[in-house]
Amino acid sequence: MSQDKIGYVPFVDSASPPAPQDYAYGQPNPAGFVLPPPDYSVMPGAPGAPGAPGGVPFPPPGAFMHPMYGQGGPGFPQAPFPHATPYNPAPNPAPTPYQYTPDASNAFYQSDEPPPVYDHEEIAISGFDDKTVRRAFIRKVFLVLTVQLVVTFSVVALFTFEHNVKTFVRQNTWTYYVSYVIFLVPLIAISCCGEFRRKHPWNLVALSVLTLSMSYMTGVIASFYDTDAVIMAVGITVVVCFTVVIFSLQSKYDFTSCAGVLFVCVIVLFVFGILCIFIRNNILHIVYASLGALVFTCFLAVDTQLLLGNKKLSLSPEEYVFGALNLYLDIINIFLYILQIVGRSRN
């Protein structure tokens, strides 16, 4: 049997590598052994070949020598292709209208009315637009201002009615210059350092030092005038300042738009004051004092409207120390200029 190899076709692949020498499965094939080609003549279902068991022939092979089923082979008639069921979509139901049902658990929405619509103008931009905050801010400013004025005019009354104190300050004028230097330090700190004047309680400490030094300087100046002139100047100052403050709070005219004009007036007044130092004329000094009282009266109106918050310029609610300082300096300057007018007019 091993000697008869007629009908075998040797199968040699020249491109394949030589067979490995280490065989993992079974024994190696003998030299010259090749696989015999398949015989399709004896395949079941082929013409002239025996069929499947039971006498029914197998279907003919296809292109890849696999049996073909249901394609009209011997014993298998041509089967009809199945037809798909026609698609009959169901009609969409009509949409149900939306019915609003209020939530009974929420007491706010108990009616069918829509929620209220607010205009953008009513939305508060900052806390200063709230009337409660504004009123509290104005109340705090005037409270601080009242304490300052009480302290200042108490010192003025002491220096005016107490003869020994009046004599002492007239003989020791150096104390006036010392108090002036002390006055400048907190004034620069509060005016130039925004963070410092908002920091509690250091802002109140600086304001207290400034008030005491300014009170001493005002008392020293008042000690050089007669008692009647000082009393008259205090009365005129109270009437003028009270009238200007009430008018500024109620007026619709925006005085804050005139801040630039008042700044120019201050420069002119400063130059005029330097001229009065070298020209000793009583009439010229009265004119200078009158202009100064008029300019600082306008400044009082501007600084009062800065507290309202509904003008062109306004102060923040945190600037109550700065607002009280502005009003305080305006009133003290008005008092000093009026005192100068009354005193020089009586002389």
Locate 57 and state its tokens: 């022939």
pLDDT of residue 35: 66
Smallest Cα–Cα separation from 295: which of 227, 238, 230, 244? 244
| Residue 140 CB partners (closer than 8 Å, separation 6+) | 320
Q: Are residues 196 and 227 in contact, defined by beta-carbon separation less than 8 angstroms?
A: no
pLDDT of residue 239: 94
pLDDT of residue 316: 78
CA 221 to chain centre: 49
Q: What is the pTM of this model?
A: 0.61
Query: Per DSSP, what are the bridge partners of residue 78?
Result: 71
Residue 61 DSSP code:
B
Distance CA 253, CA 298 (A): 13
Of the candidate ranges 46-50, 127-131, 167-171, 185-189, the one whose mean pLDDT is the lowest? 46-50
Per-residue pLDDT band for 44 (boundaries 50, 70, 90) equals low
Domain boundaries, the chain: 135-345
CA 96 to chain centre: 46
CA distances from 283 to 73, 155, 287, 290 (A): 141, 30, 6, 11
DSSP per-residue string spanning 113-177: SPPP---GGGS-SSGGGSHHHHHHHHHHHHHHHHHHHHHHHHHHHHHHH-HHHHHHHHH-THHHH
Locate 128 and state its tokens: 């200063």
pLDDT of residue 335: 94
Is pLDDT at 119 greater than 50 in this prediction?
A: no
Is pLDDT at 151 greater than 70 in this prediction?
A: yes
> What would the pLDDT profile of 63-96 be if each residue is shown by its tens digit?
555 555 444 455 555 555 555 566 666 666 666 7
